[in-house]
Amino acid sequence: MPSISLRPDQPFDLDLTLSCGQVFRWERDARGVWSGVVGDSLIRICQQGQSLTFEGVDRKFIQTYFQLEEDLPAILGSIDRDPLVHSAICRCRGLRIVRQPGWECLASYIIATFANIPGIKRRISHLCRCFGNPFFGSGGECYTFPSPETIAFREPCRIAECRLGYRAPYLKETARLLAGDPGWEERLRELPYDAARRDLLRLKGVGKKVADCVLLFAFGKYEAFPVDVWIQRILATRYPGGESLRTYDQCSRFGRSHFGEYAGYAQEYLFCDRAILAGEGRGDQVPVSQPER
């Protein structure tokens, strides 16, 4: 199998990157090998020290998908602005934000609302089995993620069979809109963060959190700062004045203001370290400036 030798000055942790809730179609076996379908390829990849061994795609794909060309130490240095995120950086160093296919990321987060990660994975698996194209990989039969066109022309009752609940009509309507707008991904990629966010928010099933997740994980808008219950809890209990951040916009605005242009990386490191950082009760607050209101 082909391999990539990682630069010693550019840390990468495959396990943290694929297990921290960015992506939902990857699974790790007992030997430490990760398998996931991206596009029409089944990828198998494992890490041993400074070496990545993989199959199913070429080196360029791996470098782009895992953003191995990004200067991670510089990014982490720019967000290392308080003791709390510093501890998360120390414990989770090597976590990188992946670059997912736009439609797959958008559809996944539309159907991810109000569910834990195992539940999200089940929904996506049902959707792919119902509407994806089957193909055979090294592990047996696999399914691609269904295209917008495929979902747009399915009966609502068929989509509902994928156990999506109230999300089914949202997914179908958004698929219909994007099937008629083939240049939407390229347009979003070129837009600045605020304009791209407004563009996404016009779609059915896309709220502020979904928009920020998609912009961060698929379109490289690193200033996006998604806020879920864990991030809100960390801000409220560990940052001075954080209890006054009562709305999504207040929390997200604080994250962007405090951490800067790579706020999304700070969010992901805090989320990855959430069990320790949230803790029980208030804990020690970090000495940072008063959050914006």
pTM given for the model: 0.92
Indicate the SS3 state at residue 44: strand
Give 217-270 pLDDT, tens digit per residue.
Answer: 999 999 999 999 999 999 999 998 889 999 999 999 999 999 999 999 999 999
Same-domain check for residues 212 and 232: no
Indicate the SS3 state at residue 129: helix
The mean per-residue pLDDT over the stretch 153-175 comes to 90
**Averaged pLDDT of the chain:** 91
Same-domain check for residues 191 and 115: yes
The pLDDT value given to residue 283: 41
User: Strands (DSSP E) along the chain, which ranges?
Assistant: 3-5, 26-28, 34-38, 41-48, 51-55, 134-137, 140-143
Q: Does 293 have pLDDT greater than 70?
A: no
Same-domain check for residues 176 and 156: yes
Q: How confident is the model at residue 160 (pLDDT cuts 50, 70, 90)?
A: confident
The pLDDT value given to residue 279: 54
The mean per-residue pLDDT over the stretch 98-104 comes to 98
Residue at a domain's end among 200, 218, 236: 218
User: Nearest Cα to 173, choosing from 146, 202, 195, 194?
Assistant: 202
Cα distance between residue 199 and residue 207, in whole Å:
11
Give 29-57 pLDDT, tens digit per residue.
Answer: 999 999 999 999 999 999 999 999 999 99
Print the domain residue range for 58. Answer: 3-69
The residues that are catalytic are: 209
Note whether residue 97 is domain-resident. Answer: no
Same-domain check for residues 168 and 274: no
* % of the chain residues with pLDDT over 90: 82
Note whether residue 148 is domain-resident. Answer: yes
* Number of structural domains found in the chain: 3
CATH classification at residue 265:
1.10.1670
The pLDDT value given to residue 114: 85
Query: Hey, which residues does 45 pair with through a beta bridge?
Result: 34, 54
Same-domain check for residues 60 and 121: no
* % of the chain residues with pLDDT over 70: 93
Cα distance between residue 189 and residue 213, in whole Å:
14
Same-domain check for residues 127 and 192: yes
Cα distance between residue 213 and residue 177, in whole Å:
20
